[in-house]
Amino acid sequence: EAGEPGRVFASAGNDRDIHLSDLRASGGGGAMQTVTDALASAINVLEFSPDGTLLLAAGFEDVIHVYDLRHMAAPLASLRGHVNGRSKAIYHPVFLSGGQRIVSGGERTNMLTLFHSTSGDLVSRGAIDFNPTAMVDCGKFLLAAGQGELCLLKPSF
Q: How far apart are CA 27 and CA 33, in angstroms?
A: 16
In this prediction the pTM is 0.85
Q: List, for residues 25-78, the tens digit of each pLDDT value.
A: 766 556 678 898 998 889 999 999 998 899 999 988 888 999 998 888 999 999
Q: List, for residues 98-138, the tens digit of each pLDDT value.
A: 899 999 887 778 888 899 999 999 998 888 899 888 899 99
Name the residue ranges covered by the structural domains of the chain: 8-153
Q: How far apart are CA 151 and CA 135, in angstroms?
A: 9
Q: Is 134 within 8 Å of 92 (Cβ atoms)?
A: yes
Q: Which residues pair with 101 in a beta bridge?
A: 96, 116
Fold of the CATH domain 8-153: Methylamine Dehydrogenase; Chain H (2.130.10)
Mean of pLDDT values over 11-38? 81
pLDDT at residue 8, rounded to an integer: 84
